[in-house]
Structure 1
Amino acid sequence: MLKDIFKRSHIAKAVLISAAFIVASNAQAATHIFASKLITSEDSKMQSDKTVIVENNKIISIVDGKNQGGEGDTFIDLSGSTLMPGLMDMHVHLSYQNEGPSSYLKRFTANEADYAISAVDYAQKTLMAGFTTVRNLGDVTNETVALRKSISQGVSVGPRIYSAGKSIATTGGHADPTNGRSSDFMGNPGPLEGVVNGVAEARKAVRQRYKEGADLIKITATGGVLSVAKSGQNPQFMTDELEAIVQTAKDYGMTVAVHAHGKEGMKRAILAGVDSIEHGTYMDKEIIRLMRKHDVYYVPTILAGNFVAEKAKIDGYFPDIVRPKAAAIGPLIQKTFARAHENGVLIAFGTDSGVSAHGDNAQEFALMVEAGMSEMDAIMSATINAAKLLKIDKELGTITQGKLADLVAVKGNPLEDITLMEKIDFVMKDGKVVKQ
């Protein structure tokens, strides 16, 4: 009997040892990231000498001091740097980049594959600039829907993409892809191509975007600067069309972003229930009041406004019909931003990159600060505010235990020099270091 007890105890001991070995071998190594300064975006405070501990793709804790972890862990020393949540740009066009006169010929010379390959390149530049999440507001042929899948599968390198697919316009409106063509090439685009007239077509265009894999809806509620059409600010959707788009989008769990320069187009869109106004050039007190009342976000794109205003000074850079719009509208956006910020409008960071060069997105920060926003508020507009607009603030937007590990860092203190945001030298996306 004693012999049997002795034998069983040895078996039990062996089982315990084996179980401990299995647990140890399956334990995940952690990454410990120490930074001299930490901006969590949970509040407006900057913290000092913190270590953020990441396991798999999640933030598991934030501890005081320089914690290098244990055997098998990775330690990243960002002494002298400021660590922040991954940045978010709420208005990009990854498959396009303005190159002057040749940009208008590209519609006739480029194929779907050309746009897709360009998007791969521009997406990588965007991620290396510290933008781990973007909202892509307008494709040519759904190329960023395909790119989103490629990036999520680890085939391509780029930010987390929320794509609107093809923007929705009205006939002849901004984002009608046939504007400026001769009658032989103009055709009669419809909801499939993102061009609508009336409630039924408006609903069909939203459902078509859903069918094609879009994450959200983008509409052009007024004229635009770069489209080959006369007006840059007239309203281009009727109220019933806007209401149909918003109602249908909500049925599919999609938000609605609205390109708008003129007041009337903004007013109709806000009252229809949209989520954000892009550009907002001729926003006045009434529009500001409505945006605050309905919690509509403003995505300014100051960088794009400044870019087109400068290029409008160059003979031949824009077509004659575009040049006066660029000269008139471009310089006003920064002033509009200043008024909106001063009056408490919700603001989410956005650049309209593709108008200006991809990878230059962070130049928007200095323009925001120049217009009166604090450095911290500018950073929060590109982190927690953007996450709230996308409705992903439970997963991203702050450095918080349990959230996804999207982190960026700059040498020095961006609250003392906001232009440091243009020199991101550490990027982690989804727990993986992509730039160091």
Structure 2
Amino acid sequence: MSIRLRVLRVCLAATLAGLSACASTPVQWASPEGQPKLPPPREINAVARPDAAHCAAIVGATLIDGRGGPPVRDAVVVVRGDRIVAAGARGATDVPAGAEVVRGAGLWVLPGLIDAHFHLEGDDGLPGVILQRGVTSLREPGNWIEAYDAARKLGPTPRLFLAGPLLDGPYPAYPENAMLVRDAAEARWAVDQLVERGASAIKVYFRLPLGLVEEIAKAAHARGVIAVAHLETVDAAAAVRAGLDGIEHITSLGTALVPPREAERYRQSVIADNDARVPGRYEIFRGISLAAPRTRALLGLLVARGTFLTPTLAIFERRAGDAGATETEVRGFENMMKLTLAARRAGVRVVVGSHGKAPGAERGWAYQHEMELLVESGLSPMEVLVAGTLENARYFRVDDRLGSVEPGKLADLVLVEGDPLADIRAMRRVKRVMLNGRWVGPAQAE
């Protein structure tokens, strides 16, 4: 019996018994039954390494290690080469003789931030900018891998976990960034092609029918990568049962949250016209009910399956007073925020993704803006910081080496001024960033 099936049965039994402990039980991704354990995915860029003998110690900062525990005041983090070798309170952590000492008084040290949903959109300099602002790893879920060639030549970039182009059906929403898939054989072939070229995830787009979503998920898992999706015309619950590991965008849940007739009307409008989803998603979300049985059932399924959810609230943000914002858009966005909180409170594995650019954020600050919207939605700052570090590393399947400040992990670190647990906006005050044990310089003003 698969791990997921066992966990699902346990969670269903717990639900029937009126228990809630299962909501926080993480589901570990595993190789398909009967196949050897597959190695975790790798970034496609070679990240520069420091001298293996070089030692640096950050002394006196407050440590948030990414695991969700209380911060450690007056901490010491020791890095040798590209690895963290020690992290803890100053009184219990030695500073090696000859180490480069970085004075951390007044600063907070955290794991490097991980962006689960970034789009380059032709801005080759943007990866370098967000690296200076603390994002040390990103995933682009829907662009040709070679689209990053120019960005990689401009200087240091975050670790690049790329999915390759979207797998979509005929009349794709974004033809230049898509591979067309018309049947199961093409689906398996496309997955093999992308993984051979370095894809660490496979992105399903909304014009593919449910049967092909299932074929792609199976093929991705057989190659040791995850399958994620932007859903508009496929019911989210059905897609999760078909094997998806992650859902991109809170709006992907929409058709599973409204009566079938309304969902079908929206689905047909999008199949007829890609652009119908822009106003349609706000109409859908204006009418959702957080108390409805279908909402509770969907969130329970996401919890039971360990499915990750990347809300990307920032790209849907519509506020009263915004130019051109309608009352439907404002109310729809409010419900998107409420659903994000409800998902997290139910135990859904919510992570942070910026979309690269967002209407309410200046260039290079979309990730921090997304964190702020998640806190405004009701998540605690600590929940958001864990979502953007260790939980995202789990989503990428690289938590054995990234996502937290622990001995043995790679030294991706960010130093910020101020307490992000008191005010998440402190994450904008980046003072220094370390990537793979090397300082990449102070934050640059744009």
Both structures adopt the same fold (TM-score exceeding 0.5): yes
| Counterparts of residues 1-400 of structure 1 (less than 5 Å) | 28-65=53-90, 69=95, 72-94=98-120, 96=121, 115=122, 118-119=123-124, 121-139=125-143, 141-144=144-147, 146=149, 150=152, 156-177=155-176, 193-221=178-206, 236-261=207-232, 264-281=234-251, 282=254, 284-306=295-317, 313=324, 332-356=335-359, 357-400=363-406
The one-letter code of the counterpart of 2:337 is: Q
AA of the residue aligned to 1:40 = D
Paired residue secondary structure (1:91)? coil
**2:433 matched to which residue of 1?**
427
What CA deviation, in whole Å up to 9, does each residue of 1:252-305 have, x standing for no partner?
A: 11111111256x431232011111101132253332121111110111101111
Secondary structure of 1:414 counterpart: coil
Per the alignment, in what secondary structure is the counterpart of residue 58 of structure 2? strand
Compute the TM-score of the two structures, normalised by the length of structure 1.
Answer: 0.73
Determine if contact 2:351/2:388 at 8 Å carries over to the other structure: yes
Q: Contact conserved, 2:52 with 2:81, CA < 8 A, in 1?
A: no
Deviations 1:386-423 (A, max 9, x none): 01111111101110001000111211111111111122
Compared CA separation, residues 308 and 275, structure 1 to 2 (3 A)? farther
User: Separation in 1 of the partners of 2:334 and 2:164?
Assistant: 29
CA shift, 1:35, in A, is 3.5
Change (3 A) 1:253 1:129: same
Q: Note if contact 2:354-2:366 (Cα within 8 Å) is conserved in structure 1.
A: no
What letter matches 1:424 in structure 2? Answer: V
Structure 2: tracts of 5 or more residues without a match: 1-50, 258-294
Q: What is the distance in 2 between the residues matched to 1:312 and 1:195? A: 37
- Conserved? CA contact 1:89–1:382, under 8 Å: yes
Q: 1:390 to 1:27 in 2, by over 3 A?
A: closer
- Report % sequence identity: 27
- Tell me how far apart the structure 1 counterparts of residues 328 and 183 of structure 2 sit (CA, whole Å): 28
Q: Give the stretch that moved more between structures: 349-358 or 51-60.
A: 349-358
Whether the 8 Å contact between 2:61 and 2:103 is mirrored in structure 1 is no
Whole-angstrom distance in 2 between the partners of 1:405 and 1:372: 31
Q: 1:413 to 1:172 in 2, by over 3 A?
A: same
| Distance (Å, rounded) in 1 between the aligned partners of 2:162 and 2:329 | 26
2:414 aligned to which of 400, 408, 413: 408
Contiguous gaps of at least 5 residues in structure 1: 1-25, 97-114, 179-192, 222-235, 315-322
- Residue-by-residue CA offset, 1:231-256 (whole Å, 9 max, x unaligned): xxxxx322221111011111211111
Please state whether the residue corresponding to 1:366 is helix, strand or coil: helix
Aligned counterparts of 1:291 and 1:64: Cα–Cα separation in 2 = 37
Larger mean Cα displacement after TM superposition, 193-202 or 63-72 = 63-72
Between 158-167 and 32-41, the greater mean CA deviation after superposition: 32-41
- Work out the CA distance in 2 between the residues paired with 1:422 and 1:334: 22
Q: 1:175 to 1:270 in 2, by over 3 A?
A: farther
Deviation of 1:27 (Å): 8.3
Q: 1:59 to 1:75 in 2, by over 3 A?
A: same
Q: In the superposition, relative to structure 1, how do residues 411 and 68 fare at CA in structure 2: closer, same or farther (>3 Å)?
A: farther
Asked if structure 1 preserves the Cα contact closer than 8 Å seen for 2:318 and 2:330, the reply is no
Secondary structure at the aligned position of 2:364 is classed as coil
Q: Indicate the structure (1 or 2) with the bigger Cα radius of gyration.
A: 1
Deviation at 1:324, TM superposition (A): 11
Q: Give the Cα separation in 1 of the matches to 2:319 and 2:181.
A: 28
CA distance in 2, matches of 1:394, 1:351: 24
Indicate the SS of the match to 2:224: coil
Change (3 A) 1:129 1:40: same
Q: How many residues align?
A: 347
CA distance in 2, matches of 1:344, 1:52: 31
The change in CA–CA distance for 1:296 and 1:309 in structure 2 (over 3 A counts) is farther
- CA distance in 2: counterparts of 1:68 and 1:128, whole angstroms: 29
Instruction: Quote the offset at 1:212 in angstroms.
Output: 2.9
CA deviations on 1:40-76 (whole Å, 9 max, x unpaired) are 1233211110110100000011243288945542110
Asked if 2 retains the 8 angstrom alpha-carbon contact of 1:30 and 1:69, the reply is no
The 2-side partners of 1:84 and 1:324 are apart by 39
CA root-mean-square deviation: 2.8
